[in-house]
Structure 1
C-alpha cells in the first residue's frame, strides 16, 4: 500500500529552519519557522535548528489544499518542540526555555493576532501534544517524565484550550500503567493510544468511559481509526508494516498485513513520529518539508 502526497512546504521557505511541524485537526499542514536559527549538532541524530536568541518572532506557515498562508507569532521564548492549532484561530506551542529553567511553564497559547495569551505547566518529557476541534488538548509522555514528574506520571493527560487540566489516566486494577506512549490518535472528543510495556489499545472519550483492548501489535508507531476499523503502522520491529485490524468490545483482531511505501513505490526507510487524526495517519520522512497521508 502506498502513501499519498498531502502537503509540501514551498521552496521559498528554508526547511532547515523549521522548529516544529504537524498536521492539525482540520487537515492543514503547519510549519513553525525561526528565520534566525542555526543548525545545532545533537548526539545520535541529525542537527536541528535552534534560535540564536530569545525571544524571537516565528513565522507560521499553513498549507491547506493549494493555498499557503503566513502568520507571525510574536516574542516566542521557547525552543519549540510541538505545535498545534486550536479553535478560533489560536495556536498552542510546547517546548523549553533555555534561559529560564526554573520556570516550568512549557506550554504557551497564542491568540489570533499572534501574541501570547497564556502559559502553563504541561509536565516533562512530552512525547505527543495534539488538539482537537472541540477545545481539548492531549499530552502523552515518555518514561523520563512518567517516573519523575507529578503531571507526566499519568502518561496521558487532557487539558482544555486554556491550559486547565481536565482528566488524567489512571490504569484500572490489573492493567499496566503507562511507561511510554508509542502511538497517539486524536479525533474530536476521543483519543486512542498504544503504550509500553504491554501495548494495549487505550480509548478515551470525553463523554464516555475509558476502554482498554488487548492488541496483537507490539510497539506501533502510529494508527488510524475509522469506526470498527483500525490500521496500525510499525510494531514488532518492522517500521513499514501495516496491520489492518478490526475492533471488538475487548480486543483488537488482526485481519491482514501489508507493506507501506512512498507514493512512487519506493521503500519507506525512516519517518518522524506520525500524526494520527481519526481515520487519517499523516507521515513525513527525515525532511520536514513534505507530509504524506494514509487513510483507514
Structure 2
C-alpha cells in the first residue's frame, strides 16, 4: 500500500515545552495556536477557573503570546477570531455551567462574552468571517450549527435533509463554507449558508478528516487497522468515486499514533503526541 508522508508545518517554541498542552489548532488563515496551562485540569469534579496561555505561530514564523484569564473548560476546543481574539469552548456542557461553555476573549485576553452551543462538541472551527462551526458527537442530536461570536445561531442542519446525521465525524471549514462527513451514512456534505446543502453519497466509512480541492477529495482515518488510511476520490454531481487508497504517515514514515487533525480546504493538519508540532497533507500539493 502506497504511503504518503506528512510535511512538517510548524512547531511550538521550545521555551514552552514544559507547559501542559490543553489543545491546539490551525486557524482559517494558517496560523497554529497552542492553549497551554501549568498543569492538566483534574479529571473529575468542578473545574475552577484557571489562567492559560495561547502561543501562536503565524505563517511568517512570528510568535505571539496571549494570556487568557478565568478559563472554564476541562476538555477545551480553541480557535482564533479574525479580529485577533480567541474562542475557547468546553466539549461537555453541564446544566450548572452551560452559560460558560463557550468563552470569547478579545486580543488582550479578556473575556467579552460567554454562551452555550450545546453538549458533546466534536469539532469547533472558526471561519474567515468569524463564525463558529460546531459539529456534535452522538450524545447530542444537534448535528452541525454555525454561530456568531455573540452566540446567535446563523445556520443549522435541522431540516437540511442530511442522511444519518448522528455524529459529525469529520468537519472542514474553509472561507465561509463547510464540508462534513457524518456518521452513520458518511455522505460528503457541502454547506454554503444561504444555499441548499449538497449531499454526495460516499462509500468511505469512518474518516475523521476530509480535504477538498476542486473536483478532488481525500478522506483520512477509519476504523481499527484503517485509522491511518488515506483515500483519494473524485467528486461527481451526486457521489464520491473512490480511487487510490494508501496510508498517511509522519514525515519520518512512522504511523502518527495518538493524534489530532484539523481540516481546512485542501489541507489536513495532523499533530501527533506530544502535540508540540503540526504536520500537513495538502491535496493541492
Q: Same fold (TM over 0.5)?
A: yes
Do the aligned residues in 1 keep the contact of 2:22 with 2:37 (CA within 8 Å)?
Answer: yes
Q: TM-score, normalised by structure 2?
A: 0.90
Q: Is this contact kept in 2: 1:77–1:97, CA < 8 A?
A: no
Partner SS, residue 74 of structure 1: strand
Deviation at 1:242, TM superposition (A): 0.9
How far did residue 41 of structure 1 move? Answer: 6.4
Number of the residue aligned with 1:47 = none
Aligned to 2:256: 268
Q: Residues of 2 paired with 1:249 and 1:75: CA distance?
A: 48
Could you tell me which residue of structure 2 aligns to residue 119 of structure 1? 114
Match of 1:3 among 6, 14, 18: 6
User: What residue number does 1:54 align with?
Assistant: 48
Q: Helix, strand or coil: the match of 1:220?
A: coil
Q: Write out the 4+ residue segments of structure 1 that deviate beyond 6 Å after TM superposition.
A: none
1:197-208 to 2 correspondence within 5 Å? 197-208=184-195
In structure 1, runs of 5+ residues without a counterpart are: 43-49, 147-152
Report what 1:34 is aligned to.
Answer: 37
Other-structure match for 1:295: 282
Q: Is the 8 A contact 1:20 1:32 kept in 2?
A: yes
C-alpha deviation, 1:78, in angstroms: 3.0
Aligned counterparts, 1:190-269, within 5 A? 190-235=177-222, 237=224, 238-269=226-257
CA contact (8 A) 1:80 1:93 kept: no
Count of aligned pairs between the two proteins: 277
Does residue 156 of the first structure (1) align with residue 144 of the second (2)? yes
Q: Deviations over 1:143-178 (max 9, x none)?
A: 1122xxxxxx2x1001122221011103556x5341
**Structure 2 Cα separation of the partners of residues 81 and 157 of structure 1:** 18
Instruction: Calculate the TM-score normalised by the size of structure 1.
Output: 0.86
Is the 2:91–2:119 contact (alpha carbons within 8 Å) kept by the matching residues of 1? no
Distance change >3 Å, CA 124–CA 170, structure 1 → 2 = same
| Structure 2 counterpart of 1:140, from 125, 129, 135 | 135
Q: Which residue of 1 aligns with 2:79?
A: 84
Q: What whole-Å deviation, never above 9, does each CA across 1:79-125 have from its counterpart, x for those lacking one?
A: 35101011111111101799x85131210111122101111111000
Confirm or deny that 1:19 pairs with 2:6: no
Q: 2:268 aligns with which of 259, 281, 286?
A: 281
